[in-house]
Amino acid sequence: MLKFAIGLGALAWALVPPSVLAHAGHAHHAAEEAASGHHAPARTFPPADSVAAPAGLTVSDCWIRALPNRLPAAAYFRMRNSGDQEAVLVGAEAPGFRKVMLHGHDEAGGMARMVHVNEVKLAPGEAFAFAPRGHHVMLEQAEVDLEVGTLRPITLWFEGPKALTVQCEVKAPGTMK
């Protein structure tokens, strides 16, 4: 059984007119923010190595679809909760990117758009995949060039706070899985 929750932030974003959020690859973010005046407050986390990982939570197959010219890139992975407590993913960090957010994907009304996701809840025994045309970690405001074939770390933050850092393979722009 798959279960996840989208916080109120997603609803707020979903109500923004489609013209503002229309999905044009991932290159629309700057214009979108300029148009809406929306600036997500930067979430601050303690040093990742100062907190424990969620017990029983595993993340696998992490990869990043690189785009040229430091355009916003998306990261995908699978996570499974083999522990006995709910795990709640609340954010992510990635060195080299000043803005990192959890995004969902909505195709209501036949138009694909991205929606901000406040959290993803994973009950004991559940698994959830971040995948193309679905949830992704949005990597924005790059300070580095993504090189295909290299590994880059992403730290996933959970309620607690707890954190898990995974290595993600950078793949070419056309990669779909």
- Between 64 and 114, CB nearer to Cu ion: 114
Hey, is 130 helix, strand or coil? strand
Sketch the per residue contact string, 101 through 120, with Cu ion: x for CB under 5 A, - otherwise: --x----------x------
CB of 103 to Cu ion, least distance (A): 3
Closest alpha carbon to 166 in 85, 89, 67: 89
- 100 is a site residue for Cu ion (CB under 5 A): no
Contact 134, 104 (CB under 8 A): yes
- 135 is a site residue for Cu ion (CB under 5 A): no
- Between 6 and 138, CB nearer to Cu ion: 138
Closest alpha carbon to 21 in 109, 137, 112, 130: 112
Torsions phi, psi for 19 (to 5 deg)? -60, -30
Burial class (CB within 10 angstroms; exposed 0-12, middle 13-18, buried 19+) of 58: middle
- Between 105 and 161, CB nearer to Cu ion: 105
- 90 is a site residue for Cu ion (CB under 5 A): no
- Between 59 and 102, CB nearer to Cu ion: 102
CB of 55 to Cu ion, least distance (A): 29
- Between 138 and 164, CB nearer to Cu ion: 138
Consecutive H or E run containing 170: strand 162-171
CB of 173 to Cu ion, least distance (A): 15
Dihedral sign from CA coordinates of 2, 7, 11, 16: negative
CB of 125 to Cu ion, least distance (A): 28
User: Binding residues for Cu ion, per CB under 5 A?
Assistant: 103, 114, 138
